[in-house]
Each structure stands twice: as structure tokens, then as C-alpha cells.
Amino acid sequence: MSVNRFEITALTLCAAPGALALENIPPDRSVTVIIDIREHWTTEKASESARSVLDRRHSKNATGSTLLRIGRPDDDTGQDAIGRLAALRPDGFVLSGCRGVADIQRFDVMLRVAETEYGLKAGSIAILVEAGQMLEFFLSPQSLLDVSDRLKGIVFNAADLLHATASQAFSGPAARAGAPLLFARAAAVLKARQADLPCYELLPENPLAGDDPRTLRNISLADGFSGVIARSIAQLTALSAS
């Protein structure tokens, strides 16, 4: 798939291969699927799991892009793994743990090497960067504008941000969202707008009781995000109902 035709649909699901439940995705809806192999993405097992999901998507002629969520590659093992995964011909990668411009440019080069090695069209694999795990992303003054033609958006991960800052989503004494979360959400949206990129918010994997995904989506949209990414088929179903 040409990177120029890449898009994230209004309905997007990110889950581990065994939890995607593709058979429950509404057949009449275009859904972007992010296969979450971040924890063990350099292993052969992760590649096979991703291959199984991609094959099932292709066999059903599913509409919507399919991406692979991975960790930040650091060495030759990472390049080898990128090559194996790129050979599966996903539409793109979600680069988790991104620190900023240097990581994006390095990943771009690694994809270029993989495309050449496996005979793929140059620039055919898109990149979304996931922000939250590494605080450098929010604190860097560098713009993401024109960093890479592959770069198609930012994904904000609040859970990773809270873990990285040892902070809470809600500050009881202040009766508001925690300061690190407020700052990081705003920084993600501003960085995206500065670079003319969409910014998506990853919904919590284990939301609080009573949290309606549609309400969370409305809050995200009001705060400048382009949309939300469901973490389960239940969340996706709720989002597709409206």
C-alpha cells in the first residue's frame, strides 16, 4: 500500500494478537487495526502472531489499515526484526517509546533498508509515533515538521506517561487532572498541530467503572485530539454505536 493513501479510520483498535477478536469487528465498518506486539516484538513468535492477523485481515478483504505496534529498535537485532516484520507488508508501524526527531529519522532509515532488502516500494510503510513512555518527547523544543514523509501522526499514551512520572490521572487535593497529564496531553496536541499531523489518544486499557468510551472520545476531541484508539473490542463496539 502506498504511504500516500495511508489513513487512520474513525474506528481504530489496538490490542494484542490474541485479544483482537477480528470476527467481532463490524463487517460493514472500516476499522484500522493496530497489532500490539510491543512487549516481544523482536522475536520470531511475535512475527508469526502478526502474520496470522495480517493473513486473516487480507482473507476477509478487510477495509482499513493494519499496523504493528513495536518498541524502539536500538541495535542490529532490531534491524533484523524490522526486516522480518516489514516483509509481512503492514501498512505501517506504531513506534512506541519515541523520544523525538532522532528516533523517527533513525527508524525511517531502518525501514528504508528493510524495503530495499525485501523489494518493497520505497516509502510504502507509514510511521505513527507513540508518546508517553519517554519524557524527552514532551520536553524537546524540536519540531516534527518535515522530519519524515512517512510520519503520519502521533499517538498519546496516558498510561505510559503516568507510569513514567509516577503521577496520578486525578489530583484529589486540587480536584483536577494531574499536572503531568495535563501538560503532556497539551504538548502532544501542540506538537502535532505544529507539524500538521493528526494526534490520537489511546484509551485506557482498564478504564474506571462507568467510563463510557464515547464520553472519553468527546473529551479528547474537545481537547484537540483527532480521535481515540480503542483497546478492546468492547470499546470499539461502543464507539461504533454512535
Q: What is the pLDDT of residues 4-48, one digit of tens each?
A: 457 788 899 999 999 998 888 877 889 999 999 999 999 999 999
| Other beta carbons less than 10 A from residue 209's beta carbon | 4
Q: What is the pTM of this model?
A: 0.93
Domain count of the fold of the chain? 1
CB atoms within 10 A of CB 96: 23
Task: Look at residues 2, 42, 36, 41 and name the one whose alpha carbon lies nearest to residue 152.
Answer: 2
More confident call, 165 vs 25: 165
> What's the domain range around 192?
3-240
Question: Alpha-carbon distance 72 to 69, whole Å?
Answer: 10
Here the CATH number for the domain that contains residue 44 is 3.20.20.60
Mean pLDDT of the chain: 93
